[in-house]
Amino acid sequence: MLTFTLVAILGALLVIVLMNLFKKDRKPLPTPIRPVEDLANLKVTDARTGDVLSVAGAGDRMTDLDYTVDRGTRFEAGSRTWVELSGPYQERRVSLRIGGDEEVEVFLHADPRKITLEELGVSEDDLAQMDERQNPADSFDFDGATWMYRLSREVQAWRDNQPAPTGFYYWEFFTQDGKRLLGIKKTEGEPFTVTLSTWLNAGDVTVYRKT
C-alpha cells in the first residue's frame, strides 16, 4: 500500500515539474518604442490637418504665405496618388498638393481666379477627344504658356475622417518646363472647375505643429 502511495506522490510531482517546464510565459509583450517625432524639423510630407504651413515668398507682395490646414484630402487616380492640404489665406482658400512617385512633387494653388473652359479656349468635346487619345503630345495655349496633356481619368477622393470616397473625372496638364500645373475637374451634375498651381521646392515649406 505504501509503495502505491509513494508512486502516486512521485507521479504527481513529476506532472507538476513537467507543467512548470512547459508552461508558457504569460507576461505581456513589451510596448514597442516609437521614434520621437522631431517637431523642429518636420518635412512637407509630414504635414497634416491642424498644422500651420509657411511657404517662403509665395504670399501677396512676395511675403511668406502662412495658413492653417483645416482640410486634408487624399486622391487616387489609378496608380497615381497625392494629398491636398487646404486652408484659408487672405479671404480665399489655398492648398498644397504633395505627391510624386520617386521624388516628392509639391505644388501650391493660390491663384484666386475662377477660370472657365471658354477662357482656356478648350471645349468639352476637346477634353473628350484628349481623354480618348491619351496622347501626351496634345496641348493648348493659355496664360502665355503651352499646356501639355499629362493624364485624364476617374479620381477617387477621401476627405479627412470620411470612410467613403467621392468621385469625379479629371484632366491634368503641365507647362513644358513642369513648373505649373493646370487641373480640370468634372463632378457629375456640376460645372467644370479649373485650378492653376505652381511648383514649389519642398524645402521652401516650413511645417509647424501645434502641441
Give residue for cell 502516486.
8
DSSP 8-state secondary structure symbol assigned to residue 108: E
Candidate ranges 11-15, 28-32, 66-70, 158-162; pick with highest mean pLDDT: 66-70
Identify the residue with better confidence: 76 or 2: 76
pLDDT, tens digit (0-9, with 9 covering 90-100), for 168-193 = 999 999 999 999 999 999 999 999 99
Residue 58: domain span? 39-208
Distance CA 88, CA 59 (A): 12
Residue 27 included in any domain: no
pLDDT, tens digit (0-9, with 9 covering 90-100), for 97-145 = 999 877 899 999 999 999 999 999 999 999 999 999 999 999 999 999 9
Distance CA 57, CA 54 (A): 9
Report pLDDT for 102.
79
pLDDT band at 16 (very low <50, low <70, confident <90, very high): low
Residue 173 included in any domain: yes
Strands 71-77 and 65-68: unpaired
Mean pLDDT score of the chain = 88
Residue 78 included in any domain: yes
Residue 34 included in any domain: no
Residue 47 included in any domain: yes
Please check whether residue 139 is in contact with residue 146, taking contact to mean a CB–CB distance below 8 angstroms.
Answer: yes
Residue 60 included in any domain: yes
Number of neighbours of residue 67 by Cβ within 10 angstroms? 22
pLDDT, tens digit (0-9, with 9 covering 90-100), for 146-166 = 999 999 999 999 999 888 999
Distance CA 33, CA 60 (A): 44
DSSP E strands, the chain: 52-55, 65-68, 71-77, 80-89, 92-99, 105-109, 139-142, 145-159, 166-175, 180-186, 193-200, 205-208
Residue 7 included in any domain: no
pLDDT at 20 over 70: no
Please check whether residue 156 is in contact with residue 75, taking contact to mean a CB–CB distance below 8 angstroms.
Answer: yes
Q: What pTM does this model have?
A: 0.80
Q: Which phi and psi angles does 43 have, rounded to 5°?
A: -90, 165
DSSP 8-state secondary structure symbol assigned to residue 125: H
Structurally, how many domains does the chain consist of? 1
Q: Provide mean pLDDT across the span 73-77.
A: 96
Paired with 206 in beta bridges are: 54
Residue 15 included in any domain: no
pLDDT, tens digit (0-9, with 9 covering 90-100), for 52-73 = 999 999 999 899 999 999 999 9
